[in-house]
Amino acid sequence: MSFWLHVMILMPFLFAIAVPFIYKQLSPRIHTGWFVLFIPLVIFIYLLSFIPKISDGNTFTATVPWMPSFDINFTTYMDGLSLIFGLLISGIGALVILYSIFYLSKHREALNNFYVYLLLFMGAMLGLVFSDNIIVLYVFWEITSVSSFLLIAYWYERETSRYGAQKSMLITIFGGLAMLAGFIMLSIMTDTYSIREMISKASDIPSHALFIPAMILILVGTFTKSAQFPFSIWLPDAMEAPTPISAYLHSATMVKAGIYLVARLTPIFGGSAEWFWIVSGVGLITLLYGSVNAVRQTDLKALLAYSTISQLGLIMSLLGLGSASLYVGVGDDSSVYAVAIFAAIFHLVNHSTFKGSLFMVIGIIDHETGTRDIRRLGGLMHLMPISFTLAVIGSFAMAGLPPFNGFLSKEMFFTAVLNASDMSVFNVDIIGLAIPIIAWIASVFTFVYSMILVFKTFGFRGKNKPEKLGRDVHEAPIGMLISPLVLGSLVIIFFFFPNTLSHYLLQPAMHAVLPTIAGEAGILDIKISAWHGWNTELFMTLGVIGLGTLLYIYLKKWFPIYHLLPEGFTLNNLYNLGLEKMESLSKIITVKYMTGFIRDYLVYIFGFIILVVGGAMWLFKGYSFDLSKDAPVNIFEVILMTLMVITALAVLFSKKRVTAIVAVGALGFLVSFFFVLFRAPDLALTQLVVETVTTALFLLCFYHLPELKKEISRIPFKAVNAVISIGAGAVVTIVALSANGNRLFESISGYYENSYELAGAKNIVNSILVDFRGIDTMLEILVLCIAGLGVYTLIKLKPQGRDENEEAK
């Protein structure tokens, strides 16, 4: 069992290696996607087998040693939370690959690249959600950023694709580095890299000085990945990726990585007021920001992008509000507050189904009509009836209308915000009423953009006639409809059978988020019902429908409100301006130090060494000289050293090239005499050969150089050169003497003294090169051979174009 958990994660990576070969052999006869499809299907079926065991409260773990001396091992851990994410990653991944088979042409697209990137991303997401070690988790986290960059830039010939990929990379990598710093702080506080062990020590760390910094840095990473305000600007530009990528990354998987990590770390940070306010506050702001901006979009994918931002904010706010149950502890209040955690997990699943379906429907519209511009669409209802039905299901679920699953989780969201307004902890009573108001206003705008998506695209023709699109619009082929049909069916199934989903998946996931109170508080027995009577939540829903309908009908009347703010007053423009200023500043700095003179570069390098190394030794009293154990210096060594100084000065003050070359060679030959004195004849011989060859090469090169226009009478004195050279020499000498005088361990050379017994070699140096470090030597020889082949190729081979020109002559 444990072995297969790791195989499951590695399968996409291993198969990604085979994809180019499959593509080369079978393209364009067979679509490569058919061979890739079985990978997520096998993983999905494998994970399905865990559902009964996980629902019974079991967990599964397995460890493969990686760097055990550093307590970094590839440990997988499966509980309700990781299982539900694994099912989403593999299940929707299979549907996306099936959809892409019909969406992407096998004749015009580089499918080998597409599926390699997709499998890399899938494997990274699986590794992320099933990793217990935070360092391993971080490795997979960054692989998702890199692979998503490649996927977004799939159509790299488009400038907008490159821009969107760069933006997503910069923002998410920035967050990832911040998160790494937070992980390191968290490991320092808990003395472990295991998330499970950290949870067991959660009660001991809130008073630690690193608790708040670690929390903030980790949240920065989760917010950037899950497109929370103000980092959400990368998601709309990422829509330049092919629609299958948008459906996979930006509705079901990548953007949910931050959600997963917040849920996973809630048992560690969730009992604090800072976690409560930051997570719930940022989530509510993101919810409102995304829903308000979605209404103004004219591109269907941009509308879905901002709606995704809004829905992610909703889930994030629920996780923040529900974390108050950990502060309250076991009791009736914890059951009330923990409803928010349950609602977050429920809406996470619901959002993946209806948003994935909607993205695929938008892809179908773009594929069949050639446009995603709402202003050019309309009247598609009778031309694309199946797509229209799917759009209604997905949009109405997103709006929170029955009989669709979004209605159930949206009602629970209203329950959670109403409970939050009555909280007696974290001083919520001061602004508690604002929480349900913000949630309700955002829900109104959610209703409006959901209606825009359906009726502006498929509704009455008006001035937008399909005939003006310049092509024959018709329903998509059945192969392209299968995936959204499956997801649309789940939207309805989950509405009518929510408690089955709850028992087998949602409740075990909530138990993983609230392990300390879930069982005792009895909150695992939450029952989902579509009807709770005439309560406040229902009246809030009716208000959303009523006001939302009026705002949609009179959209043209109030839409000019969006033009009140200046066009340049946006986060995107702020990002672009910041990037432009940083590039300008970096250019100014680069021009200053990239002078083209080697002398300047040496000044920078040696000056840095003097300041950092010398300064550190001075501040921390690192210099210490113990010459008592050193061998005595004999007269021969003094003579050789004096001759080396003289030859070095000769190089410095020589007026002719030949004199300088001969002095450099003499300096090297004098070094070989030191090896003779130290009884290392093989090193002396090597030094002699190297110096002879290099001196000959120097003479050959300078022979072909032009003569100096004038002889150098003297070298001008420069104080900077003198200070740098003396300082660098002094620092290196002091470091060497201090290292020799502060030996903390026995010299490793003692191990090689028994080279004859260990390797059968009488020469220590030879035994090290050939036996002890034979693989290193072999690889070094291989590198030299490759370099030699490259030089030979450059010399012997001629470009074909040159031959053609010669023939023309």
Residues 341 and 383 both lie in one domain: yes
Please tell me whether residues 330 and 265 are part of one structural domain: no
The span from the CA of 675 to the CA of 512, in Å, is 66
> Cβ distance 283 to 227 under 8 Å?
no
Q: What CA dihedral angle connects 141, 145, 148 and 152, to 10 degrees?
A: 160
**pTM more than 0.75:** yes
Domain for residue 475, yes or no? yes
Residues 6+ apart with CB under 8 A from 728: 606, 609, 610
Is position 665 within any domain?
no
Give dist(CA 129, CA 86) in Å, integer.
Answer: 7
Boundary-marking domain end, from 542, 560, 578:
560
The single-letter code of the amino acid at 780 is E
**Exposed e or buried b per residue across 690-723, where buried means at least 16 C-beta atoms within 10 angstroms of its C-beta:** ebeeebeebeeeeeeeeeeeeeeeeeeeeeeeee
Single-letter residue type at 150 = L
Asked whether residue 41 falls in the same domain as residue 104, the answer is yes
Name the residue among 439, 409, 417, 447 with its Cα closest to residue 529. 409
317, 343 contact by CB (below 8 A): no
The SS3 call for residue 75 is: strand
Angle between helices 111-130 and 254-269 (to 10 degrees): 10
Taking a C-beta distance cutoff of 8 angstroms, is the pair 123, 12 a contact? Answer: yes
**CA–CA dist 201, 207 (Å, integer):** 12
Question: Which string of DSSP letters, residue by residue, matches 703-750?
Answer: HHSPPPSS----PPP-HHHHHHHHHHHHHHHHHHHHHHH---S--THH
Determine whether 735 is exposed, middle or buried from the number of CB atoms within 10 Å of its CB (0-12, 13-18, 19+): middle
Nearest to 446, CA basis, from 249, 340, 309, 562: 309
CB atoms within 10 A of CB 592: 8
635 membership: H or E segment, kind and range: helix 635-653
The pLDDT tens digits for 577-631 are 888 899 899 999 888 888 888 888 888 899 999 999 888 888 877 777 777 767 7
Weakest mean pLDDT among 79-93, 425-439, 468-482, 788-802: 788-802
Tell me what the mean pLDDT of segment 238-247 comes to. 88
Confidence at 361, pLDDT banded by 50, 70, 90: very high
Model confidence over 550-564: pLDDT tens digits?
A: 999 998 888 888 888
Say whether pLDDT at 710 is over 70.
Answer: no
The pLDDT assigned to 809 comes to 39
Phi and psi angles of residue 149, each rounded to the nearest 5 degrees, phi first: -60, -45
Q: Report whether pLDDT(286) > 80.
A: yes
Cis amide bond preceding 28, omega within 30: yes
Dihedral sign (CA 186, 192, 196, 198): negative
CA dihedral 419, 421, 425, 427 (to 10 degrees): 170
List, for residues 12-46, the tens digit of each pLDDT value: 999 999 998 888 888 777 888 899 999 999 999 99
Q: Which residues pair with 515 in a beta bridge?
A: none
Split at pLDDT 50, 70, 90, the class of 481 is very high
CA nearest to 12, candidates 147, 126, 100? 126
Residue 227's nearest CA partner among 276, 294, 180, 138 is 294
Residue 619 domain-assigned (yes or no)? no
Please check whether residue 613 lies inside any domain of the structure.
Answer: no
How far is the CA of 192 from the CAs of 134, 184, 339, 674, in angstroms?
9, 10, 31, 50
Q: 556 with 569, same domain?
A: no
* CA dihedral sign of residues 9, 13, 19, 21: negative
Give 329's Cβ-side CA count (13 Å radius): 1
Q: How far is CA 292 from CA 151, 169, 414, 447, 614, in A?
A: 28, 26, 19, 11, 57
pLDDT at residue 332, rounded to an integer: 52
How far from the centroid of its chain's Cα atoms is residue 394's Cα?
29
Do 530 and 499 contact (CB within 8 A), yes or no? no
Dump pLDDT digits (tens) for 390-413. 999 999 999 999 899 999 999 999
CA-based nearest residue to 208, from 221, 183, 190:
190
Same domain, 214 and 339: no
Residue 763 within a domain: no
Reading the block at residue 29, the tokens are 């006869």
Instruction: Flag whether 721 is in a domain.
Output: no
Closest listed residue to residue 250, CA positions, set 360, 104, 335: 360
- Predicted pLDDT of residue 213: 95
Provide the sign of the torsion angle of the four alpha carbons 335, 339, 340, 341, taken in this order.
positive
Nearest to 648, CA basis, from 671, 629, 630: 671
CA proximity to 174, closest of 568, 570, 573, 575:
575
Q: How confident is the model at residue 805 (pLDDT cuts 50, 70, 90)?
A: very low
Instruction: Kindly state the tokens that stand for 743.
Output: 């030996």
pLDDT at 395: 93
SS (H, E, C) 9-67: HHHHHHHHHHHHHHHHHHCCCCCCHHHHCHHHHHHHHHHHCCHHHHHCCCCEEEEEEEE
Question: What is the structure's pLDDT at 806?
Answer: 44
Has residue 781 been placed in a domain?
A: no
pLDDT exceeds cutoff 50 at 807: no
Closest to 193 in 3D by CA, of 24, 71, 329: 71
Residue 83 and residue 58 in contact, taking contact as beta carbons nearer than 8 Å: no
Q: Evaluate if residue 521 carries a pLDDT over 60.
A: no
DSSP state of 468: G
Task: Give the chain's mean pLDDT.
Answer: 86
Task: Answer yes or no: do 320 and 400 share one domain.
Answer: yes
For residues 294 and 418, state if they share a domain.
yes
Are the C-beta atoms of 101 and 479 separated by less than 8 Å? Answer: yes
What percent of the chain clears pLDDT 90, i.e. is strictly above it?
A: 42
Of the three residues 512, 544, 560, the one that is the final residue of a domain is 560
The beta-strand segments (E) located in 42-180 are: 60-67, 72-78
pLDDT of 177? 94
Q: What is the pLDDT of residues 307-317, one digit of tens each?
A: 999 999 999 99
pLDDT at 498 over 70: yes
Q: Which of 226, 251, 481 is nearest to 356 (CA)?
A: 251
Residue 76 DSSP code:
E
The string of pLDDT tens digits covering residues 638-668 is: 888 899 889 888 887 777 778 888 888 888 8
Average pLDDT over residues 442-463: 85
Query: Cα(288)–Cα(278) distance, rounded to whole angstroms?
Result: 15
Q: Is residue 456 part of a domain?
A: yes
Backbone angle region of 300, left / alpha / beta, with phi > 0 → left and psi within -120 to 50 → alpha: alpha
- 738 has a pLDDT exceeding 90: no
In terms of domains, do 239 and 362 share one? no
CB-CB contact of 90 with 44 (8 Å): yes
The better pLDDT of the pair 336, 575 is held by 575
d(CA 711, CA 571) in angstroms, rounded, equals 62
Which residue has 């020799």 as its token pair? Answer: 740
- Residue 360, pLDDT > 90, answer yes
Who contacts 586 (Cβ-Cβ below 8 Å, separation ≥6)? none
Distances (CA, A) of 326 to 203, 217, 276, 333, 471: 11, 21, 10, 10, 58
For residue 73 the two structure tokens come to: 């091992």
243 shares a domain with 305: no
Q: Are residues 7 and 140 in the same domain?
A: yes
The backbone torsions φ and ψ at residue 602, rounded to the nearest 5 degrees and listed phi first, read -65, -35
Alpha-carbon gap, residue 544 to 550, rounded angstroms: 10
**pLDDT on residue 599:** 84
* pLDDT > 50? residue 238: yes
Domain count, the chain: 3
The one-character DSSP state at 251 is T
Dmax (CA) of the chain = 104
Nearest to 504 by CA among 29, 71, 83: 83
| 343 and 244 within one domain | no
Helix or strand (DSSP H, E) at 556: helix 555-558
Range of the structural domain that residue 579 is part of: 564-589
* Cα–Cα distance measured from residue 390 to residue 247, given in angstroms and rounded to the nearest whole number: 15
The answer to whether residues 466 and 398 belong to one domain is: yes
Three-state DSSP class for 502?
A: helix
Q: Note whether 575 and 167 are within 8 A (CB).
A: yes
